[in-house]
Amino acid sequence: MHSVFTKSETLKKNKAVNTESLVTEILGYKEKNSNIPALKYGRFMEPVARRKYKCILLQRKHQDLKVVETGLYIDTKRGYLGSSPDGMVDCSCCGSGVLEVKCPLSIAHTIPSHENLTYLVKEGSNITLQRNHNYYTQIQGQMAICNKQWCDFFIFTKHGHHLERILFQKDYWEKIVSNLENFFLKYVVVELLTQDIKKKVAHTETSSGTKSNTDSIPLLAINTCKPTKTNTS
């Protein structure tokens, strides 16, 4: 999602910027390696992190707390937008929100902080997620698509954690979604009709003897593929 947003901003200044690689990524024309160590570690640690997060909220006396793994949500107004948070959170004191978990392999041996994670920044006595980072855009998209007003951003290792509640920013999201819609209509829809990039990818992969994936469903904002749920707001 963030890459589409920033590419759209660049296109406003220079319409000659190449969009083929991004369209290829969106449409899933090339298979991604899901066995990269960092991804495997993240998948393994996510349920552990979710349990730890729930324990922390219980210790903080959140009432009637529920933390559940969730599936893929599709935006009903824009069917090309989807999001799959790492959890849905609900309690009688705070209402409902989403959970986004990060378990970075690069700092598995230590405590998450602004000193070892480039996307965290220290502001006074607080450590927060940088507001210009792709994780922030991802989180804003999750809240918008799932119709929630807050997200708990949880970075977890076996040595410590960072927990931050991020609120939905309507103005920021409206700017993001305007760019997403513009890119989808101008570039993704055109490719779906012409399949020019698909033909190039298929030709390149055939020539090199590698495997392509040209039958995927286009969604601009998917984090992980899970059973589908629809946002009916």
pLDDT at 202: 85
Residue-wise pLDDT tens digits, 37-79: 999 999 999 999 999 999 999 999 999 999 999 999 999 899 9
Q: Are 11 and 17 in contact (CB under 8 A)?
A: yes
Please identify every stretch of the chain with a pLDDT value under 70, giving residue numbers as ranges: 205-233
pLDDT at 179: 94
- The radius of gyration computed from the CA coordinates of the chain, to the nearest angstrom, equals 19
Q: How many residues does the chain have?
A: 233
Q: Output the CA angle 135-146-137, nearest 5 degrees.
A: 20
3-state class (DSSP) for residue 181: helix
* CATH 3.90.320.10 corresponds to the domain 2-7+20-224: yes
Q: Which two tokens stand for residue 118?
A: 């480039």
pLDDT at 41: 96
Show me where the domains of the chain are located.
2-7+20-224
CA–CA separation, 38 and 32 (whole Å): 13
pLDDT at 214: 46
* Torsion of Cα atoms, 118 then 122 then 126 then 131, to 10°: -60
User: What percentage of residues in the chain have a pLDDT greater than 90?
Assistant: 76
pLDDT at 227: 36
